[in-house]
């Protein structure tokens, strides 16, 4: 199969629609990362997405709809606080998990009675969703466990020859996946941190909890996806705490002396420190949103440049940085995850 990258035009949207209604998958841009889209009502299309990504079959998918789509077609209950969150943050990088009507394919939620729904803000995603006018499941358009894609080229690198069409909407501004927030209970509960922070949600509706999974306890996890090793670049990765600049530098020198192509990924304020010491660096940026938007791009670049990638954790750890740290730790395999 030839994989084509096309700008978003009436012609490419119509081609994408034909592929979707034929049970195929199309990669689409969003403001977070690129998604691998398929018809949420079509069992075959949903299964195809799991297959082409190599995604574990207990990791449910998010249904994406345009901003005028009638959510009550697919969700069973819409609590007033969820409505408030939608008005405040959607379209945008927030996914809400509702009780499902069971209308979409049972493969979407992997047997759960809930459905995760998102309304992306990206103009290209909206144009595509309006064109098809059905819910589209769209997990990140990367091979499972690999770094998420923030450009059409990233998607091409993972899926060349495996999907027919990539709609090119430019580089993703957000850079990390949406915040996933459960709204099936009395209060919102964050299942995956992201650009819409716990503080922003709590400010809007008074309260917001955060779910920390513990798969060793045998408890059935609320959001299976959070348990998997994710976002990993294909090189050796070593993560150091924000205070351990010396440790990072010592390790850099050791790896370099062994002939390994080695880089240090760090926030902007440390770049000159490492450069002065003679190290090659990758600059994560200085603001929270800059670090979120550059992370995956740099991890993809790193796997081309490096045998060994050393990262130093950013010093700031609240707000958006909760999401950035979550992805960084998973990419470096330094959290409790299934492999």
Please report, as ranges, the residues that interact with ligand AMP according to CB under 6 A: 59-62, 97, 109, 112, 114-116, 139-140, 177, 180, 191-192, 222-226
Nearest distance, CB of residue 60 and ligand AMP, angstroms:
3
The structure tokens listed for 252 are: 């850099």
- Is 30 a binding residue for Mg ion by CB under 5 A? The answer is no
The structure tokens listed for 168 are: 């090119």
- Is 59 a binding residue for Mg ion by CB under 5 A? The answer is no
- By CB under 5 A, which span of 63-71, 140-148, 164-172, 179-187 interacts with Mg ion? 140-148
109 binds, among Mg ion, ligand AMP, none (CB under 5 to 8 A by kind): ligand AMP
Contact by Cβ (8 Å): 267, 291: yes
Q: How far apart are CA 339 and CA 333, in angstroms?
A: 9
CA dihedral 56, 62, 63, 65 (to 10 degrees): -150
- Is 126 a binding residue for Mg ion by CB under 5 A? The answer is no
Give the nearest residue (CB) to ligand AMP.
225
Nearest distance, CB of residue 50 and ligand AMP, angstroms:
11
Nearest distance, CB of residue 137 and ligand AMP, angstroms:
8
112 binds, among ligand AMP, Mg ion, none (CB under 5 to 8 A by kind): ligand AMP
Q: Are strands 179-182 and 189-192 parallel, antiparallel or unpaired?
A: antiparallel
- By CB under 5 A, which span of 111-119, 139-147, 178-186, 323-331 interacts with Mg ion? 139-147
CB contact set of 169 (below 8 Å; sequence gap of 6+) = 8, 28, 29, 122, 123, 124, 125, 152
224 binds, among Mg ion, ligand AMP, none (CB under 5 to 8 A by kind): ligand AMP
Q: Which is nearer to Mg ion, 140 or 293 (CB)?
A: 140
- Is 109 a binding residue for Mg ion by CB under 5 A? The answer is no
Q: Which is nearer to Mg ion, 140 or 237 (CB)?
A: 140
Q: Which is nearer to ligand AMP, 190 or 265 (CB)?
A: 190
Contact by Cβ (8 Å): 191, 84: no
- Is 326 a binding residue for Mg ion by CB under 5 A? The answer is no
- Is 140 a binding residue for Mg ion by CB under 5 A? The answer is yes
Distance from the Cα of residue 54 to its chain's centroid: 16
Q: How far apart are CA 305 and CA 32, in angstroms?
A: 25
Q: Which is nearer to Mg ion, 32 or 140 (CB)?
A: 140
Q: Which is nearer to ligand AMP, 188 or 225 (CB)?
A: 225
Nearest distance, CB of residue 64 and ligand AMP, angstroms:
10
Give the residues lining the site for Mg ion (CB under 5 A).
140
């Amino acid at each position: 199969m030839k994989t084509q990258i096309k700008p978003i035009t009436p012609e490419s949207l119509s081609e994408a629609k034909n592929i979707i209604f034929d049970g195929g998958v199309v990669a689409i841009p969003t403001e977070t990362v690129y998604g691998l889209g398929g018809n949420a009502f079509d069992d075959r299309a949903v299964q195809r997405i799991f297959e082409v990504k190599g995604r574990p079959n207990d990791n449910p998918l998010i249904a994406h709809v345009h901003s005028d789509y009638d959510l009550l077609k697919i969700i069973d209950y819409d609590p007033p606080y969820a409505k408030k969150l939608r008005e405040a943050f959607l379209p945008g990088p927030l996914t809400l998990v509702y009780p499902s009507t069971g209308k979409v394919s049972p493969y979407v939620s992997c047997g759960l009675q809930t459905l995760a729904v998102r309304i992306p803000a990206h103009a290209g995603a909206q144009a595509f969703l309006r064109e098809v006018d059905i819910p589209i499941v769209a997990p990140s358009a990367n091979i499972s466990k690999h770094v998420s894609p923030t450009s059409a080229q990233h998607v091409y690198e993972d899926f060349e020859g495996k999907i027919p069409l990539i709609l090119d909407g430019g580089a993703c501004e957000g850079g990390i996946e949406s915040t996933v927030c459960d709204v099936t209970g009395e209060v919102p509960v964050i299942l995956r941190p992201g650009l819409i922070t716990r503080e922003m949600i709590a400010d809007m509706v008074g309260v917001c909890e955060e779910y920390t999974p513990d798969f060793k306890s045998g408890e059935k996890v609320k959001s299976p996806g959070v348990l998997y090793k994710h976002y990993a670049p294909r090189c050796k990765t070593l993560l150091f705490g924000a205070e351990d600049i010396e440790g990072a530098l010592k390790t850099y020198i050791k790896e370099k002396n062994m002939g390994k192509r080695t880089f240090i990924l760090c926030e902007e304020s440390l770049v000159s420190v490492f450069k002065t010491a003679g190290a090659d660096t990758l600059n994560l940026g200085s603001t929270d949103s800059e670090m979120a938007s550059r992370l995956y791009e740099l991890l993809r670049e790193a796997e081309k440049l490096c045998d060994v990638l050393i990262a130093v954790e950013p010093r700031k750890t609240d707000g958006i940085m909760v999401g950035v740290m979550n992805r960084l730790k998973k990419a470096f395999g330094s959290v409790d995850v299934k492999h």
